[in-house]
Structure 1
Amino acid sequence: MLGSYFVILIIPIALVGIYLTMSIRNNLISNKLEEIENNNERIRSDYVTTLTSITRVSDWIYQDEDLASLVTTVYDDPFDVYQAYAQYQMIEDYLRYYDEIEHVRFFVDNPTLTSTTGIYHANDSIQEQEWYQESVSRNGRIAWEVITDHITQTTHLNLVRSVYSNYNFIGVLAIAVNQEVINSILNDSASSVFITLDNQTPLYSYPQYSDINEAYSQYRPVLETVRTEEGNYGIVDSDRFNTDFTLNIRDVVIPKTLNSTMQVIGVVPTDSILEDVSRDLRVAYVIISSVLAISILMLVIFIRTFNNRIMKLKKAMSKVANGEFSIDRSIKGNDELSDVYNHLVDTSSSIESLMAINYEHAVKEKNWQLQLKDTQFKMLASQINPHFLYNTLEMIRMKALRNKDREVAEIIKILSKLMRKSLETTEKETSLEEELNFTEMYLHIQKLRFGEQIDYSITNTASADLVIIPLIIQPIVENSFIHGIEPKVGKGYIDINIIENQNNLEISVKDNGVGISRDKLAEIRHVLSSEEESSHIGINNVQKRIRHFYGDQYGLYIDSKEGEGTHVTIVIPQVNKGKEGENRCTQ
């Protein structure tokens, strides 16, 4: 009897136990390696995010016209330099709000400038530096260099690029990476990690070494035996360490960086991975030796628990199938059944969210249809007997001609064209040229009205076959006149500039009027970014029409300085004739 029990029960359980032990061992090793991979991936992701923020700041500085004007101006008096610095605070703001930045050094060759926060004279010593000369030769492309700062005498990783304004070289920008931020990323690492530049220069490490180059040099023979491509490698260095190593290499790809390569390299002795696994296996052997006595009891408990979880899953599935999404958010256990339950929870949440989104879209679509009907009604009301209005204006114009008042006759003629264009306009796209002609007629009336007190210019470098929705330029120009030019003392000027930027069409309307206060500008920007109604009917209407027709990623962008003027930029997609409607956003 005992022998039968041993053969039937103990031997199969022992064999299964051995098999499970080996499986657990392999799974634990795989999980440990995956943990190391995830650790390095987290470090790479956080590191890329940090350097991307610095890249973004460098782009802002590169495109900052105020900074370009400041550093290229030749000053006659130090007080003028002081005043110019006092009016420009952007670099200090970058240092204040971006912890990733240690310092900013913008080196310019302007001897009339004095050094201040972020702006420094590029003397002969600076210009002779190899990194400075290479940055100039790259013509604005971004690179990463290890530089010893000429002020603090500390060494940091720097973003380096030359800066141009209107195709003219104005200086070299160096933004240092804050090492404390990088150290905070590495401090949670579960293994030894190096971050390298150009496959040879170690930048950062965990743990932190007093001499990182010496520490990194110990691993160079191991690293040189494998490719430097991204991936996992197992290698044995019997000459130096007499142990196995597991290497995990991750490439660091920084947006807009073509001249520098970085990698995150995890170096882990394989014995350290197996140490935890072996400890768990010893516990497993003890458990296997004890499982014979309690196997039946554990089986009963397992069946009862599993059955309860199955019933809970079944009940939750029935609720979801009947449209009731208020189910428990979790279930006991951590196995395939819990994964199925968690997927069910995620599915119910997704369905519930989609239903809410669909309802919201339906409400928005209904509101928009009501607004469209209201607009159509108003347009129909405004078009009552338009021929009578045109004939009346024509009669007035002819009378002005008989009275030899050609200026009044010209104004009435243009006004008649403007009114006809306004009444005939629909949401159908019109050519960019027609829209500009309509805007120029309005500007011509204002020119006749104000005489030499105003002037304007229209520059169009875009393609001739582009089409846009009508009446989006003239309301902005009218807004510039009413709120910017009319209250101004002195001559007013409006500049309209149309360019193609990648796949977008950018229409710029700039005036030298009284400008907008900071609080008022914040209020206008809030209105443009929200669905709220506002007293700013003109620009708010243009913003809504653009976003409804093209999508929320397009619209108006306003910059203004009180006392200096206002700059409004209209950004819409490029649409050619014959392709109208392809870029329209489906609501």
Structure 2
Amino acid sequence: MKFKNFLNYCSIKSKLLIIFIFCVLIPMFITNSLMLYTVRNNQKKEQKINIYHVIDRVTYNLNGVIEECMMLTNHINSDENLNNIISTEYNAPVKYYEKYFDLLGNTAIKDYYNPQHIYKITVYVDNDSIINSANISKITPKVREREWYKQYVENGESTTITIEYDKDRELFADNNPCRVISIVRKLDYYKDNKEKIVKIDINYNTLLSNIINEQLDESLYIVNKDLILLANKGLYFPKDDFKKIDIINKKDILIKEKLKLNQSKSDWEIIFTDKNNGIINGFKNSSKLFLYLTLFNLVLPTIVISLISKSLINRVKVINNYLDKVKNEEFYEIDNIDGNDEIGTLIKSYNLMVLKIKELIEVVFKEDAEKKILQLSKKQAELKALQSQVNPHFMFNTLETIRMRSIIKKENETAEIIEKLSVLLRTTINWGNDNITIEEEMKFVNNYIDIQRYRFGEKLSYSSYIMEDCKNYKIPKLSLLTFVENACIHGIEKISYNAGISVSIFKNEEYLCMEISDTGKGISEDILDTIRKRIEKFNFESLNEEKSIGIFNAYMRMKMYFNNNISFEIDSEQNQGTDITIKIYMEEFKKGEEFYD
């Protein structure tokens, strides 16, 4: 049930996409994945079988080379002439050379040399009386420091396979490799007190060729401990050192097996890696089948669903476009009605709705227009009534102030006050423009305060603060002045001690705030509650019922001017003073030029 409700909120295009995903893509993905999985599994099995065949061949070839070398060491070990030459102590080098050349004449060493698998044969003996030659050398401290000799000693066996990078060969300009794999054997057939060993260097290039000739898609490595001895991939130069096993990515390893070398305990291993190249190459034969299946499963359903989608979505877009016109109060009928399906029926229903709306507009429009004219006239009348009530009220209070001051002081120094009063009178009489800037309004307030100071003298103090950004915002004329006047008449006049009035205007991101405060008589709690309730429920009709309309008039004008988007707070404490806070939300000042100069 929830899924049905979900579908009700999906667009037609989304529903068709859901059909395509669940009825085409997912089934195709599952079937093709199963086929791919089966083919890949079979390919992997075949690949492993081929790899094990390669392991057998590589093992066989290596063992053949080792067997040939071992047979050769057996002959050298039992060669009596060779043993006599290397075991004899010579008084002079000449005698050694005579014996050595006799040995070469018998071709004993030469017969042992096989150019196919063997690079070099060297017999080492702990005999200082002999002279180093091509095939016979003394065991010197330098020889004992060689890597192959250390491996031979460390192994502790009579026969050892050693691995060494021969730096001395770097000096030769030939293509002979510096990588040396050797068979080292102790010559112990004839017992004496001398150390004798034979070292047969296997032809490295021959071993490498046997590996490369396997022509594998996979990478093959023969390793010993942390060194790669042979590899069928990668460019090899004769002077290169052995690579470290670290270059082999463990994630790519397919098979890792120990090489079973005859007559040797060396822990050589053979490793095969594959970055899916072998699988991909094997999969190429089936790629066309997968391509055809994918095209068939995708293209045909896509074409059919696209045609259906176009049929549905295009007509729905037409309906949506005409409905957007309805939002703008433009009622047009859809001319082309294609199809008799549910969407075609919906288009016909829309056209019928448009005809009905047009009929209703003709009947209701006149009545609605007349009603709006009456409401506008009423609002204008209310505003003019508010304006007309300000003049007599304000003029009376101002003239009364001057009259009282003249009676008390009995002086004619009123020229300056009369000049300020005339400005205020002209302002109240001329209602041509009821909206003025805060800066202009504050000029009226300052003039009025000067008049009140003329009356109260040092009894009245005054301060004001206007944020620079607030000066050009517009408010109803004499609205601030009304609250300042109220503070003078009801707050300052009725006390005998000194008091003050302050006006602060500032803003933040949310609202513009106007605060009018005095330290005069204040208002009792009961009267303050009554004023708050009247302000909360105050409307245009209430002005006719109020005897004292000053602050109510100003409040009503500001409320109408800012579309009720203001807040008004009045706080007071008897004999402490009164605070009035008016907040106008900043969004009202952004509506047009009439709110900002």
TM-score, with length taken from structure 2: 0.37
> Which structure has the greater CA radius of gyration?
2
TM-score, with length taken from structure 1: 0.38
